Structure 1
Amino acid sequence: MKKNVFLLTMVAGTLLMSGCASKKDLENCQNENRELTENYQNVKEQLAASKARVASLEDQLAQQKRNAAALQRSLDKSLSNANANNVNISKLVDQINESNQYIRHLVEVKSKSDSLNMVLTNNLTRSLSREEMKEVDVRVLKGVVYISLADNMLYKSGSYEINDRAEETLRKIAKIIMDYKDYDVLIEGNTDNVPVNTAAPSMKNIRNNWDLSALRASSVVQYLQDRFGVAPKRLTAGGRGEYNPVASNNTEVGKQRNRRTQIIITPKLDQFMDLIDKAPEEKK
C-alpha cells in the first residue's frame, strides 16, 4: 500500500514538473515570436523606406539624364553657332582684306595720277617764259591741272576773238595737251561783274556775261583745234559768267583776276571711273 502511494506521488510530481516546463517554454516562444514579429516589422519598414529611397534616386537619375540631354543639345547648338560664327568671321576677314587691297589700289592710282600731273605741270611751267608766267597761273588741285590765263593776254580788247599775242602761249599749252592723250580738256570762261557794253561793235549780239564767257571759251577751243590740231572730242567749252570769282569785284585788281579763262586738264572720265569701279584681281 505504501509502495503504491509512493508511486502515485512520483507520477504526480513528474506531471506537475512537466506542466511547469511547458508553460515556460510557451512564454519563451511567445516572447521570441513577439521579438521576431517586431524585427520583421522593422525590416519591412526599412525595406519600404529603402524602396522609397531607390524610387527617389531613380527619379533623380532620370532627371539628371534629362538635364544631361538638354545640356548636350545646348552644347551641340553652341558648337554649331560657334562654327557658323567662325565662318562669318572668316568671311568678314576676307572682306576686310579685299577692302584693304582695294584701298591700296586706289592709293596707287592716285599716286600715279598725282605723279603724272606733277610731270605735266613741270613740263608746262618750264616751257613758259618768265613774261608768260606773270599772266599764267598753273596749279594742281585734287588731281586736276588748272591753267588760268588773264583775258588781256588772250583776247582783243572788249572782244572774244583771240589776239596775236596769245598764239605762242597757246601753242605751248597745246603741245602739253597733245603729249597727254589720256586727258580731257575743259576750257572755262569767267568774267567780272561789270555788265557787258552791248553798244560796242565787238559785243554785237552778246546779251550778258554768260554769253561773253561762253564765247571766249569757245574761241580758245576752236583755236586749239584749228591751229594746233587738238582733237575736238577731247575739248569742252563752258562759260561761268561772273559767278565763279576768285577775288572781290570791289577793286580793279580783283576784277582783273576774275576776268580769266581756265584750261582744266583731267584724266578722261570713263577711264577714271573704270579705275574706281574695278577692284584689283585677287592674287592666287
Structure 2
Amino acid sequence: MKTRNILFSAVLLLTLHSCVVMSPKKYKALVAERDSLSMRSNALFDTVAMLRADTMRLHREIREAQGANESLKGTYNALNDKYNSLNNNYNASSSKVTALSSDLKKREARLKEVEDALKKRDEATNALRDKLQKALLGFQANGLSVDIRNGKVYVSLTDKLLFPSGSIVIDARGKQALAQLAAVLNKEADINIAVEGHTDDKKVINLGQIKDNWDLSVLRSTSVCRYLTEVEKIDPHRLTATGKSQYQPIDPGTTADALSKNRRIEIILSPKLDELYNLIKQ
C-alpha cells in the first residue's frame, strides 16, 4: 500500500511541476483523477493478490489431484493385475470344467454300457434258472435245487442223488439228472460250467486210494465232468473241476440231515462275461 501511494504522489508532482498555472477546477479534476487511479490501482493490486492466491490454490489442488490420480492409477493397475489373474484362473477352470464334463459324459456312456451288459447277464441268468428248474423239476424232491447267487446259477445235487455211499461212480438216478441238465446246457453254448465237490467233516475210512475228503471231493467233481463231456458231449473247454473238501459247509450242524446237505456237488453256471470285462477295462 505504501509503494502505491508513493507512485501516485510522484505522478502528481510531475504533473504539477509541468504546469505553471493551474486553475482550481483543473486541480480538483486532477485530484479526482488521481483518486480514481488510486482506487483502480488498489482494485488491480487486490485482483492480482486474489489471482495469486487462486493460482496457489489451483497449484495445490492440481498437486492433490495428481496425487489422487497416481493413487487411482496404482489401484487400477493392481485391480487390472488381479482381473488378469482371475481371468486366467477362470479360463483354466473353464477348460478344466469342459474337460471334466467331456470325461463325465464318456464315463456315463461307459456306465450305461456296463449296466446294459449287467442287465443282459441278469436276464440271461434268470432265464437259465427258469429253464433248469423246469428241466430238473422231477429231481428237486431228491435233493436237487436251483438258485441264483452273485449273478450265477447254482445247481446243487446232494451226494445221495449222484453217488452210492463213499463212491465216486455216478449211479443211474444221478445220470438221469445230469442228462437233463446237459440237455439244457448243450443249447446254451455261452455258459461256463464249474463243478465243485463238497464233503462233510467225517474222516474217510476204507476207501482204497481215496485218502481223505480232499480226494473224495475232487474225484467226485471230475467224475461229473467226465460224464458230462464223454457221455453228454458238452464241450470240455467250458468245464472246470474243483474240490472244496469239508471247508465250505452250507449247514454247520452235526445232525445227519446237516451232514447230508454238506455232501454235495455244486454245478455253477455263469454267462461268459467277455463283453462286460472289456467294457470295465476300457
TM-score bracket relative to the smaller structure: 0.7 to 0.9
Spell out the pairing of 1:140-155 with structure 2 (5 A cutoff): 140-155=148-163
Q: Which residue of 2 is the match for residue 111 of structure 1?
A: 119
Matches within 5 A, 1:1-284: 37=45, 39-197=47-205, 200=206, 203-268=207-272, 270-278=274-282
Quick one: structure 1 residues 255 and 211, their matched pair in 2 at CA, closer, same or farther if it must change by over 3 Å?
same
Quote the offset at 1:92 in angstroms. Answer: 2.3
Amino acid at match of 2:211: R
Q: Partner of 1:179: helix, strand, or coil? A: coil
How big is each residue's C-alpha offset from its partner over 1:80-108, in whole Å with a ceiling of 9 and x where there is no partner? 43333233222222222222222222221
Give the total of aligned pairs: 261
Normalising by structure 1, we get a TM-score of 0.79
SS in 2 for 1:229: coil
Mapped to 1, the partners of 2:87 and 2:267 lie a distance apart of 65
Note if contact 2:199-2:213 (Cα within 8 Å) is conserved in structure 1: yes
Aligned-partner residue type, residue 64 of structure 1: L
Q: Which string of whole-angstrom CA distances, capped at 9 and with x for unpartnered residues, describes residues 215-245 of structure 1?
A: 1111111111111111222111111111111
Which shifted more, 145-154 or 86-95? 86-95
CA–CA separation in structure 2 for the residues paired with 1:151 and 1:44: 124
Query: Are the aligned partners of 1:117 and 1:145 in contact in 2 as well (CA < 8 Å)?
Result: yes
Inter-partner Cα distance in structure 1 for 2:112 and 2:236: 35
- The Cα RMSD (Å) is 2.9
Contact 2:186/2:234, CA 8 A, preserved across alignment: yes
The alpha-carbon deviation at position 273 of structure 1 amounts to 1.6
Amino acid at match of 1:256: S
Decide whether aligned partners of structure 1 residues 272 and 209 sit closer, same or farther in structure 2, where only a CA change above 3 A counts: farther
Q: Distance in 2 between matches of 1:244 and 1:23?
A: 141
User: Are 2:125 and 2:271, in contact at CA under 8 Å, matched by a contact in 1?
Assistant: no
**CA distance 1:272–1:162, change in 2 (3 Å):** farther
Any unmatched runs of 5+ in structure 2?
Answer: 1-20
Retained in 2: the 8 A contact 1:183–1:268? yes
Deviations 1:95-146 (A, max 9, x none): 2222222222222111111111122122212122434543210011221010
**Deviation readout 1:141-160 (Å, 9 max, x if unpaired):** 22101000010111122112
Superposed CA offset, 1:66-93 (max 9, x none)? 3334333433433343333233222222
Does structure 2 retain, via aligned residues, the 8 Å contact 1:153–1:166?
yes
- Verify the 8 A CA contact 1:190 1:258 in the aligned structure 2: yes
For structure 1, the 5+ residue unaligned runs are 1-13, 279-284
* Distance in 2 (alpha carbons) for counterparts of 1:97 and 1:164: 58
* Conserved 8 A contact 1:132-1:169: no
CA distance in 2, matches of 1:131, 1:242: 24
Identity of aligned residues (%): 26
Letter in structure 2 aligned against 1:251 = T
- Assess if the C-alpha contact under 8 Å between 1:193 and 1:249 holds in 2: no
Q: Distance in 2 between matches of 1:141 and 1:188?
A: 15
What is the CA distance between 1:30 and its match in structure 2? 7.5
Instruction: Return the offset for 1:205.
Output: 2.4
Write out per-residue CA displacement over residues 176-201 of structure 1, whole angstroms, 9 at most, x where no aligned residue.
2221111211100111111111xx2x
Contact 2:158 2:265 in 1 (8 A): yes
| Range moving further from structure 2, 238-247 or 101-110 | 101-110
- Letter paired with 1:218: T
C-alpha deviation, 1:33, in angstroms: 6.1
